[in-house]
Amino acid sequence: AQKVTQAQTEISVVEKEDVTLDCVYETRDTTYYLFWYKQPPSGELVFLIRRNSFDEQNEISGRYSWNFQKSTSSFNFTITASQVVDSAVYFCALSEASDRGSTLGRLYFGRGTQLTVWP
Amino acid sequence: GAVVSQHPSWVICKSGTSVKIECRSLDFQATTMFWYRQFPKQSLMLMATSNEGSKATYEQGVEKDKFLINHASLTLSTLTVTSAHPEDSSFYICSARDRRGPYSNQPQHFGDGTRLSIL
C-alpha cells in the first residue's frame, strides 16, 4: 500500500506567488515522523523539516510553512512569495517507529512534486 | 552539522564492469545505512538496509547478488553494482542513520548521490 501520496506531479508558478504542495500519508503506527526534502537539479537531498506525530503544531520558517492535520493525514507545505531558486523537486516522506518505539525505521518517499518558479 | 560523503559523484563505464560506490559518515557513527535508487523523474526507492557488521537486508525485487553491500565499519558502507548493464543506469543515494535516532532532528543524513551511466 502506498504510504505517502503527492498527487501533484508538477506545479508551475510565477515568482512571488504563493504555492502549496500537498502530501497525504497512510500509516497504522501511532508514532511516526513526517519529513519534507528538497531536491534541486544537482540531485542532493536537502532536509527541510521533520514533524513528530504527537506534535500537531504548525510551523513557519521564513517563507516556508507546514500544515500538519492528523484528522486528514495530511502534511502540506506552503512557500510564500516564491522565488526562482525554489524550483526543485520536493519530496514528502514518512518514517514509522520500530516495534520498540524508540528507533526510526526506513523512510517512505512520495513520488515528489516538481515545482517550477518562473521569473 | 552531520555530513555524509558519497563517492564517486559520477560514473560512466562500459557494460559488464563492476562499480563500487562508497558512503561515509564523516562526523558521526552510523550503525545503519540505507541505499536508495532513483530513476529520472521518479521517487527514491529503498534498495537495502545496511547494518554494521551484519548482512544487508534487501527490499523485495532487489537482487542481492547484483547489488553487493558491505558495511564493514561504523562510518563506511559500500554498494557494488556487479557486471553492470545499461538498465542499471540510475541515481544512487545513500543515507546514514544518526544513532541519536528520534533525538536528532535529522535522523537520516543523505549523501549527494552517484549518477551511474552504463554504456
Q: What is the pLDDT of residues B36-72, one digit of tens each?
A: 999 988 999 999 998 888 889 999 999 999 999 998 8
**Chain A nearest C-alpha distance from B20 (Å):** 19
Nearest to B21 by CA among B90, B109, B108: B90
Instruction: Compare all CA atoms of chain B with the CA of A9 and give the residue at the minimum distance.
Output: B41
Contacts of A15 (CB under 8 A, 6+ apart): A82, A83, A84, A117, A118, A119
* CA angle at B107 for the pair B106 and B111, rounded to the nearest 5°: 75
- Mean pLDDT in chain A? 90
| Max avg pLDDT among A54-63, A97-106, A107-116, B25-34 | A107-116
B12: which strand partners?
B117
In which band, very low, low, confident or very high, does the pLDDT at A103 lie, cut at 50, 70 and 90? Answer: very low
B35 contacts B69 by C-beta, under 8 angstroms: yes
Chain A residues inside the 8 Å CB shell of B21: none
State how far the Cα of B49 lies from the Cα of B67, in Å rounded to an integer. 12
Query: For residue A7, with 0-12 CB atoms within 10 Å meaning exposed, 13-18 middle and 19 or more buried, which class applies?
Result: exposed
**Residue given cell 503527492 in the structure block:** A6
Cβ–Cβ under 8 Å, residues B55 and B36: no
To the nearest 10°, report the CA torsion of B87, B89, B91, B96.
80
Locate the chain B residue with the closest alpha carbon to A102. Answer: B102
- Report pLDDT for A102: 45
